[in-house]
């Protein structure tokens, strides 16, 4: 199939329906656009899974509040600093501080203090991305002033009806609040990342095409998306018999990455751990069709088994230095360079900011 110059919704759906064997033109075009616009360079963000305490109950997530089988933890300041130092010394350029959603003043202040500590050890040279759920304008401003400059908040699905099937029906889990929260991030001066899960129960190809168009309409700077993977301790598990096979969820994710690179040539696109969880070289495959960001896990090993959003998550036993060497090899194996010591800001943000 020839890839149309402008991708409208019906063209996107048609491409998403292609068998993988027929996707070479799509993948080759996405690879060419990546090379031309952002280059064959991958930027690293050390991922610190700071705490698995969460006030929410998303139906798909293994660390949801009501899952009593999870041992809850929060890293100490020293542990966060050690991890940040490791990222800095390894030339990672930036880190992501991720945790469940907690919105108490005590929590906001704690994060502010941690941001200040990280900036001290790294002389303000380490880029800092937050992934801490929906927060108030005051809290976001406080963290921005303390040195965080990027924020990830996935929309999870752009279809409001599907969103409500994936979340409890209370006021904490409303689609409209999620939309407002993403807008607030844009208005608060952050570089904004969002994303979706792919292959969710009840999700259609039309939904996925809408997700891609949603990203473009929202004009975001970064996207992280990956296959939905079931977790037996969650309510969504009862729908597992309706799911696509894992391999097909992976293939759909690969097509989504390639299509997104064509739709938004200058944004940052992550090769996600969920892709790696299904396919042993899933991240490398994503890099070859348009992804340009990888998030090596630098959480202390003793906590990793307690941060299982889904089953069989990759890199659970490996220490940070093992992931470092492993990832470097993997990225070089697909002829990409590593953007050592660079923040690797999305070109899109710089353009939008100007
Ligand atoms: N499968 C895949 N991704 C998941 N996430 C949460 N649960 C799952 C799951 N079961 C993703 C969500 C969330 C991100 C931190 O992890 O998209 O935003
Ligand atoms: Fe909490 Fe995020 Fe999991 Fe939802 S997806 S339960 S907000 S950690
Ligand atoms: Fe973690 Fe390979 S990236 S072990």
Q: Is the pLDDT of residue 345 over 90?
A: no
Most ligand 2 atoms within 8 A of CB, residue of 58, 157, 309 to mutate: 58
Rounded to the nearest whole angstrom, what is the distance from the C-alpha of residue 262 to the centroid of ligand 2?
A: 30
| Pocket test residue of 309, 310, 313 for ligand 1, highest count of atoms within 8 A of CB | 309
The CA-atom distances, in angstroms, between 124 and each of 89, 139, 143 are 13, 20, 14
Residue 67's CATH number:
3.20.20.70
The pLDDT of residue 354:
55
Q: Whose CA is nearest to atom 1 of ligand 3?
A: 323
Q: For ligand 1, say whether the CB of 166 is within 6 Å of any of its atoms.
A: no
Instruction: Report CA(3)–ligand 1 centroid distance (Å).
Output: 31
Whether residue 155 contacts residue 181, with contact meaning beta carbons closer than 8 Å, is answered with no
Mean pLDDT of 330-343: 94
Task: Name the residue with higher pLDDT: 194 or 317.
Answer: 194
Which residues have a Cβ under 8 Å from the Cβ of 313 and sit 6 or more positions away? 273, 274, 277, 304, 307
317 vs 305: CA distance, rounded Å: 8
Pairing status of strand 94-99 against strand 41-51: parallel
Q: Count the domains in the chain.
A: 1
Query: What is the reported pLDDT for 353?
Result: 62
Q: Is 2 contained in some domain?
A: no
> Does 4 map to a domain?
no
Beta strand pairing call for 293-294 and 41-51: parallel
pLDDT for the residue numbered 2: 85
- CA of 276, nearest ligand number: 3
Whether the model clears a pTM of 0.85, i.e. scores above it, the answer is: yes
For residue 307, which ligand has an atom nearest its CA? Answer: 2
* Binding site membership of 315 for ligand 3 (Cβ less than 6 Å): yes
Ligand 3 atom nearest 326 alpha carbon = 2
Mean pLDDT of the chain: 96
Which of 50, 51, 63 to probe ligand 2 with, by most ligand atoms within 8 A of CB? 63
The domain in which residue 325 lies consists of: 9-353
**Cα–ligand 1 centroid distance for 146 (angstroms):** 27
Ligand 2 atom having least distance to the Cα of 309: 3
Looking at ligand 2, which residue's alpha carbon is closest to its atom 3? 61
Answer yes or no: is 170 within a domain.
Answer: yes
Q: Quick check: helix, strand or coil at residue 141? A: helix
- Confidence band, pLDDT 50/70/90 cuts, at residue 111: very high
Share of the chain above pLDDT 90, in %: 92
Mean pLDDT, to the nearest integer, of 328-338? 95
Asked which of 57-66, 131-140, 229-238, 314-323 is least confident by mean pLDDT, the reply is 314-323
| Residues 6 or more apart whose Cβ sits within 8 Å of residue 1 | 14, 15, 18, 22, 25, 26
Output the CA 197–ligand 1 centroid distance in Å.
Answer: 7
- Give 30-89 pLDDT, tens digit per residue: 999 999 999 999 999 999 999 999 999 999 999 999 999 999 999 999 999 999 999 999
Instruction: Let me know if residue 175 belongs to a domain.
Output: yes
80-101 per-residue burial string, b: 16 or more CB within 10 A, e: under 16: bbbbbebbbebebbbbbbbbbb
Q: Whose CA is nearest to atom 5 of ligand 2?
A: 61
> Residue 346 domain-assigned?
yes
Residue 3 domain flag: no
**Residue whose entry in the numeric block shows the structure tokens 């005590």:** 106
Mean pLDDT of 130-159: 98
283, 293, 325, 327: which to mutate for ligand 3, most atoms within 8 A of CB? 327
Q: Is residue 268 part of a domain?
A: yes
In a domain, 205, yes or no: yes
Q: How far is the CA of 270 from the centre of ligand 3 (A)?
A: 15
Q: Find residue 196's DSSP bridge partners.
A: 156
> Does the CB atom of residue 326 touch ligand 3 within 6 A?
yes
**Backbone CA torsion sign across 308, 312, 316, 322:** negative
């Amino acid at each position: 199939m020839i890839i149309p110059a402008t991708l409208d919704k019906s063209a996107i759906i048609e491409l998403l329906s292609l068998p993988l064997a027929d996707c070479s033109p799509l993948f080759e075009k996405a690879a060419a656009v990546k090379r031309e616009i952002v280059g064959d360079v991958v930027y690293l963000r050390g991922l610190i899974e700071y705490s698995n305490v969460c006030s929410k109950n998303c139906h798909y997530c293994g660390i949801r509040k009501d899952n009593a089988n999870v041992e809850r933890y929060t890293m100490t300041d020293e542990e966060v600093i050690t991890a940040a130092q490791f990222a800095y010394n390894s030339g990672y350029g930036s880190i992501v501080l991720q945790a469940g959603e907690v919105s108490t003043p005590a929590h906001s202040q704690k994060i502010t203090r941690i941001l200040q500590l990280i900036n001290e050890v790294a002389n303000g040279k380490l880029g800092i991305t937050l992934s801490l759920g929906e927060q108030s304008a005051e809290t976001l401003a406080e963290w921005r002033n303390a040195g965080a400059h990027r924020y990830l908040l996935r929309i999870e699905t752009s279809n409001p009806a599907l969103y409500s099937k994936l979340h409890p029906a209370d006021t904490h889990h409303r689609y409209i609040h999620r939309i407002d929260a993403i807008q607030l991030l844009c208005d608060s001066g952050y570089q904004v990342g969002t994303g979706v899960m792919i292959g969710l129960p009840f999700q259609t190809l039309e939904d996925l095409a809408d997700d891609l168009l949603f990203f473009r309409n929202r004009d975001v700077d970064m996207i992280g998306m990956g296959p939905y993977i079931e977790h037996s301790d969650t309510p969504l598990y009862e729908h597992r018999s309706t799911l696509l096979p894992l391999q097909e969820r992976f293939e759909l994710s690969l097509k989504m990455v390639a299509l997104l690179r064509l739709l938004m040539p200058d944004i940052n696109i992550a090769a996600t751990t969920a892709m790696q969880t299904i396919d042993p070289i899933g991240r490398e495959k994503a890099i070859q069709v348009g992804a340009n960001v990888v998030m090596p896990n630098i959480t202390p090993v003793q906590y990793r088994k307690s941060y299982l959003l889904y089953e069989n998550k990759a890199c659970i036993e490996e220490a940070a230095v093992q992931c470092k060497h492993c990832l470097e090899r993997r990225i070089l194996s697909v002829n990409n360079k590593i953007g050592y010591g660079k923040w690797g800001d999305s070109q899109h943000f710089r353009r939008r900011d100007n």
